[in-house]
């Protein structure tokens, strides 16, 4: 199989409470890349189950959460006919390649992953083996399609560096075999992360030093993609801020994490840079800025919210999209795995 040079892969976990950070940090970029790249977007359900039932809702919630992420993809503008949208567990090759990568990656590499430390918390002995091995599955998700670009939020940067390390070590460890089979020397590409724009790390509305997160106990900390216009306005009104008005320069925002976050949100939603937001609102108090931000957020999110609701009322339509996407993803993944099995030296097809 020849190496693609413009293939995008990315995923979102079906762990409920899809929020504005997921949208601005990831999903909106997925939409933009459709014009220039061949895109594969995945609802990563195998990743969701690495955490306790209390985080992903258990079997009763997983199907609904998977449909919710799919609906968010489509409602945001991803075209599942031109590109591929599917859920990870329908393509078993992800898990198969992850096993091989478990044997390529080193314990020391995984021990350094900050997401594991954060998610496992103090009770590390009780974390699942899957949570520890999460980054090797993520590398397999990307590399089973030999994807060249991965749009993600800033929190995934370290995992993408590990993906590059795994690809490089595999290419090196199996170099002789790859050459004997006359495959590309760089069999797995060194994937480029796409982490850019004013919203690569959207922060909690209750604490500007913490990432906006699905698992935050406070619903006021995040704007969910399923929130009504009233909820969005209320959450922005109640967002933590400091008593100062907005400054006249971007530099003066330093050390004001909540103000910086809200300015970043405005910039991302309006698709302008932070400096232009400051120019527009310099000297204004939050009592003026917050309603403007709420109006903008409602304007941008209401059409997505409405289309998500329509889709979620038609689960058969969503399931058909996922089945069709999985069938097309499988064709690519099987081809890679046939080659990988020969590279590693396994007998059989
Ligand atoms: N706050 C954020 N700002 C910008 N991007 C974000 N992403 C997540 N949070 C933010 C990006 O969204 C994509 C999908 O994320 P995920 O489903 O893998 O979940 P996650 O990274 O574990 O983040 P969450 O939503 O905050 O969940 P929990 O509560 O489990 O930590 C990724 O590209 C991610 O970078």
| d(CA 51, ligand 1 centre) in Å | 14
Report the share of the chain in percent with pLDDT over 90.
96
Q: Which of 204, 213, 260, 265 to mutate to test the pocket of ligand 1 (most atoms within 8 A of CB)?
A: 213
Closest CA to 287 of 331, 330, 239, 333: 239
Q: Which atom of ligand 1 is nearest to the CA of 214?
A: 29
- Cα 67–69–70 angle (5° rounding)? 60
Average pLDDT over residues 26-45: 97
Cα 192 vs. chain centroid, distance in angstroms?
A: 15
Q: Which atom of ligand 1 is nearest to the CA of 22?
A: 12
| d(CA 5, ligand 1 centre) in Å | 26
| Angstrom distance (rounded) from CA 223 to CA 294 | 11
Given the residues 29, 214, 290, 300, select the one marked as catalytic: 214
Residues paired with residue 38 on neighbouring β-strands, in sequence order:
7
Q: Which of 18, 26, 55, 128 to mutate to test the pocket of ligand 1 (most atoms within 8 A of CB)?
A: 26
Give the tokens for residue 296. 């903008």
| Angstrom distance (rounded) from CA 122 to CA 204 | 22
Q: Which atom of ligand 1 is nearest to the CA of 215?
A: 29
Buried-state track 252-289, b at ≥16 Cβ within 10 A, e below 16: ebeebbbbbbbbbbbbbbbeeebeebbeebeeeebeeb
Q: Would you say residue 232 has pLDDT above 70? A: yes
| d(CA 21, ligand 1 centre) in Å | 7
Q: Would you say residue 1 has pLDDT above 70? A: no
| d(CA 213, ligand 1 centre) in Å | 6
Average pLDDT over residues 170-188: 98
Q: Would you say residue 12 has pLDDT above 90? A: yes
Give the tokens for residue 83. 């590109």
Q: What is the pLDDT of residues 263-315, one digit of tens each?
A: 999 999 999 999 999 999 999 999 999 999 999 999 999 999 999 999 999 99
Q: Which atom of ligand 1 is nearest to the CA of 156?
A: 35
Assess whether 290 carries a catalytic annotation: no
Q: Which of 9, 22, 23 to mutate to test the pocket of ligand 1 (most atoms within 8 A of CB)?
A: 22
Q: Which atom of ligand 1 is nearest to the CA of 11?
A: 14
The mean pLDDT value of the chain amounts to 96
Average pLDDT over residues 203-209: 97
Is the Cβ–Cβ distance between 192 and 150 less than 8 Å?
yes
Instruction: Indicate the pTM of the whole model.
Output: 0.96
Give the tokens for residue 27. 């999903």
pLDDT at res. 222: 98
Average pLDDT over residues 65-90: 98
Assess whether 119 carries a catalytic annotation: yes
Domains in the chain (CATH in brackets) are 7-200+314-344 (3.40.50.620), 219-310 (1.10.240.10)
- Cα 118–196–211 angle (5° rounding)? 30
pLDDT at res. 139: 98
Write out residues with Cβ below 6 Å of ligand 1.
Answer: 12-13, 15, 21-22, 25-26, 152-153, 155-156, 199-202, 211-215
- Cβ neighbors of 118 (< 8 A, separation 6 or more) are none
Q: What is the pLDDT of residues 139-166, one digit of tens each?
A: 999 999 999 999 999 999 999 999 999 9
Give the tokens for residue 63. 């199907």
Q: Would you say residue 122 has pLDDT above 70? A: yes
Given the residues 29, 211, 235, 300, select the one marked as catalytic: 211
Q: Closest residue (by CA) to atom 31 of ligand 1?
A: 213
Confidence of residue 3 (pLDDT cuts 50, 70, 90): low
Confidence of residue 238 (pLDDT cuts 50, 70, 90): very high
Q: Closest residue (by CA) to atom 19 of ligand 1?
A: 13
Q: Would you say residue 325 has pLDDT above 80? A: yes
| d(CA 175, ligand 1 centre) in Å | 35
HSE toward the beta carbon, residue 183, CA cutoff 13 A: 22
């Amino acid at each position: 199989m020849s190496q693609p040079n413009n293939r995008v892969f990315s995923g979102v976990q079906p762990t409920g409470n899809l929020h504005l950070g997921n949208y601005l940090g990831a999903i909106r970029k997925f939409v933009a890349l459709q014009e220039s790249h061949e895109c594969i977007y995945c609802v990563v359900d195998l990743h969701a189950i690495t955490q306790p039932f209390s985080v992903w809702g258990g079997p009763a919630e997983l199907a609904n959460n998977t449909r919710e992420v799919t609906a968010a993809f489509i409602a945001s503008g991803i075209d599942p006919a031109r590109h591929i949208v599917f859920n990870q567990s329908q393509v078993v090759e992800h898990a198969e390649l992850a096993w091989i990568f478990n044997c390529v990656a080193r314990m020391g590499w995984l021990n350094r992953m900050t997401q594991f430390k954060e998610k496992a918390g103090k009770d590390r002995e009780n974390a699942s083996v899957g949570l520890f091995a999460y980054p090797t599955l993520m590398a397999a998700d990307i590399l089973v399609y030999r994807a060249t670009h991965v749009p993600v939020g800033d929190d995934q940067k370290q995992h993408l560096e590990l993906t590059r390390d795994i690809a490089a070590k595999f290419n090196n460890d199996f170099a002789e075999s790859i050459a004997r089979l006359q495959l590309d020397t760089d069999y797995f590409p060194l994937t480029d992360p796409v982490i850019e724009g004013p919203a690569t790390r959207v922060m909690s509305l209750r604490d500007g030093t913490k990432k906006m997160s699905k698992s935050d106990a406070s619903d006021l900390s995040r704007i969910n993609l399923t929130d009504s216009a009233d909820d969005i306005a209320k959450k922005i009104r109640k967002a933590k801020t400091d008593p100062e008005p907005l400054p006249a320069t971007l530099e003066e925002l330093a050390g004001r994490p909540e103000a910086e976050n809200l300015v970043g949100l405005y910039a991302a939603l309006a698709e302008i840079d932070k400096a232009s937001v400051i120019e527009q609102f310099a000297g204004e108090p939050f009592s003026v800025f917050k309603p403007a931000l709420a109006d903008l957020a409602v304007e941008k999110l209401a059409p997505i919210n409405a289309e998500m609701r329509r889709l979620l009322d038609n689960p058969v339509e969503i399931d058909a999209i996922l089945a069709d996407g999985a069938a097309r993803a499988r064709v690519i993944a099987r081809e890679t795995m046939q080659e990988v099995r020969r590279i590693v030296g396994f007998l059989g097809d």
